Amino acid sequence: MRIRTITVIGAGLLLVAGSAGIAGCSGQDEKRARTAGENAALGKRAQQKRAPAPPPPRKIDCDRVKCVSLTFDDGPGPHTARLLDTLKAGGARATFFMLGENVQAHPDVVRRIAMEGHEVANHTWSHPDLTTQSPAEVRSQIQRTQQAVKNASGVAPTLMRPPYGATNTQVGRAVGMPLILWSVDTLDWQHKSVSRDTRIGVKEPEGGGIVLFHDIHKPSVDAIPKVVDGLKKRGFTLVTVSELFQGKPLQPGQTYNERIQKTEPVTASPSPQGTAGGATQPSPPR
């Protein structure tokens, strides 16, 4: 009887010891898992901190330098990546007024636009005539696009172009950003002609001008290599819209179609500061 009692007691002690060991292992495993999770979170935050950022606007005085801004509407689309290749090869920067629904479909292209120093800008979500929309509908078109562009590129647009160039006081108030129109309308959407787009794009721009193209049309993108080369031969520096208006604060709700210069650009001595141009109603793009 004594031997059986000892055996039972011994078995019980082994069971307790085993349970304690399992509990100890479980606690160590939980601690290791928690530490691994914390390390992973720290690594992710460090990676986010190291994520590349878009280059800042260049310091260019467009009262002293002969500047022109190429702008592209309605993208991004299937030809935008090739357009970016052209602009990179030519050392040119441009501004992209993008539709939110296309941003959502091409987020990688939008990120590339920003990372290569071009300007991301708002052209509404689905291209309505904003003068036919209620203020709430206008705000929805703008805010949805703002969020889509920021999600794709990490950059929130600061400029907006109303579809068809259609705007009024109510639209400007609802948009709450400077409204950028254009001084040269290539009508590329209508003619879809490489030779015509090239001729208009090279010959018509003047200093401080804003040129309207559409990167959703293949002929437009096909014309840009010669447009860039031709404008550079004319002495132009190709800049973003924000670079064009550096030193001239743009007001929310106001329209701008060029940077007007009081004097011809010079290369040696400073010239008087010009004033931002007001907008005229251009022919509507499609």
Neighbours of 184 (CB within 10 A): 22
Q: Are 107 and 81 in contact (CB under 8 A)?
A: no
Strands 259-260 and 119-122: unpaired
Supply the DSSP string of 71-88, one letter for each residue: EEES---TTHHHHHHHHH
Of 60, 266, 53, 281, the closest CA to residue 154 belongs to 53
Q: At what angle do helices 135-153 and 107-115 cross, to 10 degrees?
A: 70
CA 197/CA 145 separation, integer angstroms: 28
CA 238/CA 174 separation, integer angstroms: 31
CA 102/CA 93 separation, integer angstroms: 21
Residues that are catalytic = 73, 214
Name the region of 80 (left: φ>0; alpha: ψ -120 to 50; beta: rest): alpha
223: CB partners within 8 A, 6+ apart? 188, 194, 195, 197, 198, 201, 213
CA 149/CA 157 separation, integer angstroms: 7
